[in-house]
Amino acid sequence: MGKLCVMISPAKKMRCLEEYPMEPGKPMFLDRTKKLMTYLQGLDRETIQGIWRCNDKITDLNRQRLKDMDLERLVTPAVLSYEGIQYQSMAPTVFEKAHLEYIGSHLFILSGFYGILRAFDGVAPYRLEMQARIAMEEDGRKVASLYDYWGSRLYDVLAQEADVIVNLASEEYSRAVKPWALPKKTRIVDCVFGQLEEKAGETKVRVKATAAKMARGAMVRYLAERQAEDVEQLKDFNLMGYGYREELSGEDRLVFVNKT
């Protein structure tokens, strides 16, 4: 039985903490993050607002963050810094020591800015979604997307860490990993959370974004509490009214249906 790891998406909303239960680690691709930071700092307001696709208030907040950014000192452990729905559902602030140790070795957060993070790698608040369009040059070639910028690096990290990758990331972020997956090397297992819907005499699984984010966070908590090392253990997930449906699933696609 090979080691299992879990990949999840980041969140747009972030916070800085002055106190936390562990010393922040160093992101593995910090040098490439520094290149992105320098690139973003050199953009005018209109261009960077177009990349971020946000309103004036959020643009001004994140331009100031960029100006003041210190990637070495003013950082918070990643899993405690992100504040989105998935992280609220995961609730890492109330994890016991064993649960924290589990996510420290099993959980990986995909990021447009940092590439890939371990749970307790130190991060500064930033805004950069994986699907953002950029216009950089590197080693004499043009780089127009973050998928191109990160290339196979994120998959390579996960493939070295585990034999099975549990995919709890959104499509936007899993696209940075899945195209590089090699058959019969590292298995990627997708988890789908939804509700059954009858349409034209056919039963389909309807995925609602907010509910799915909550379920992904709950799944991380579930795995940490059970110290899961086998993908078969995922099938017993029963939080938030969800239950595994074997007849809707496949070898690398586990479907959980909300029964409430």
Provide the residue-wise pLDDT of the chain in tens; the chain has 260 residues. 358 999 999 999 999 988 887 889 999 999 999 999 999 999 999 999 999 999 999 999 999 999 999 999 889 999 999 999 999 999 999 999 999 999 999 999 999 999 999 999 999 999 999 999 999 998 889 999 999 999 999 999 999 999 999 999 999 999 999 999 876 678 999 999 999 988 777 888 999 999 999 999 999 999 999 999 999 999 999 999 999 999 999 999 999 999 76
- Predicted confidence at residue 20, as pLDDT, reads 81
- Predicted confidence at residue 1, as pLDDT, reads 39
CA atoms of 2 and 5, how far apart (whole Å): 10
- Predicted confidence at residue 73, as pLDDT, reads 87
**pTM for this model (two decimals):** 0.95
CA atoms of 148 and 236, how far apart (whole Å): 37
- Predicted confidence at residue 199, as pLDDT, reads 79
- Predicted confidence at residue 184, as pLDDT, reads 64
List, in sequence order, every residue forming a beta bridge with 256; answer none if it has no partner.
Answer: 193, 244
- Predicted confidence at residue 259, as pLDDT, reads 79
